[in-house]
Amino acid sequence: MEKRTKHGSGLAGDDERLRSNRKMRTASTIIALFIALGAGLQVVMRRDELVGGPANKVTECDRLAAHPSDTQKLAPGIGQADVNIPAARKACQQALAANPGDGRTLYQLGRTFFYERDYEPGIAYFRQSDAAGYAQGQFVLGLILVQGNGTEPDTCAGGALWVKAARQRHLYSKVYLANNWLDKMFADCDLGTTEQEIDGMVSAAQELADTPNQKDDVAMLRKNWNGRKR
């Protein structure tokens, strides 16, 4: 991406993990986008019962298309290489018909198109997921806009999406917002947030980190964040 972070287009290897160091922060939006779409492991318990309504019921779409690093997912995530796209798409279309407007389902359905580089419908579903307020959809759409993958790049719009996601219970939006804030990527943007608020997001990220990789990423973020005024 321009402004220090845009470097090409396309997707990197599925098993690459997020690393919160300067190289990651300023030179690997491609890896970031791919991780948001298909990598990182966070296992959650499968919940087959209703908890508060249809949006919280585990569906076949969740089982086939939940993202591994989606903090709000309801089923163990599936990395890109293991997604059965036809089966996942059919399951997510059925889930969306049963629960129209569900942000989680919209995001997961969008994955099945984006992985085939069918960007237009994929991005359209991510936009609908954002409109529904789903953090992972907002985070991924933000990465797409920051990089300009399948659409025109828009750093400020991408950053604003990260802010919306980071204000929810979503780990990597907090990590990426804080790291790129440090690198002044949003210097010309009015994101409607402050360094004080982002400091609180960094602390919240520590509580959300669940796997060794996530804990490493957050530890590096904390180190960089604490050293920002030196």
- pLDDT tens profile 191-211: 999 999 999 999 999 999 989
Buried b (16+ CB within 10 A) or exposed e, 188-197: ebebebeeee
DSSP assigned state of 80 = G
Contacts of 127 (CB under 8 A, 6+ apart): 141
pLDDT for 55 equals: 65
Evaluate if residue 50 carries a pLDDT over 50.
Answer: no
Query: What is the pLDDT confidence band of residue 138, given thresholds at 50, 70 and 90?
Result: very high
Place of tokens 């293991």: 82
Mean pLDDT, all residues of the chain: 82
pLDDT at position 111 over 70: yes
- Whether the CB-CB separation of 71 and 112 falls below 8 Å is answered with no
- What are 67-79's pLDDT values in tens digits? 999 999 999 999 9
Tokens at 107, concatenated:
């995001």
Strand, coil or helix: 123: helix
Helix and strand numbers, DSSP H then E, in the chain: 11, 0
| CA–CA distance, 4 with 13 (Å, rounded to integer) | 22
Nearest Cα to 3, choosing from 107, 159, 140?
159
First vs last C-alpha separation in the chain:
27
Q: Which domains does the chain have, with CATH numbers?
A: 22-226 (1.25.40.10)
pLDDT (mean) for 42-53: 35
pLDDT at 13 over 90: no
Tens digits of per-residue pLDDT, 139-182?
Answer: 999 999 999 998 999 999 999 999 999 999 999 999 999 999 99
For 211, phi then psi, to 5°, come to -100, 165
**118-143 burial: b if 16+ Cβ within 10 Å, else e:** ebeebbebbbbbbebebbbbbbbbbb
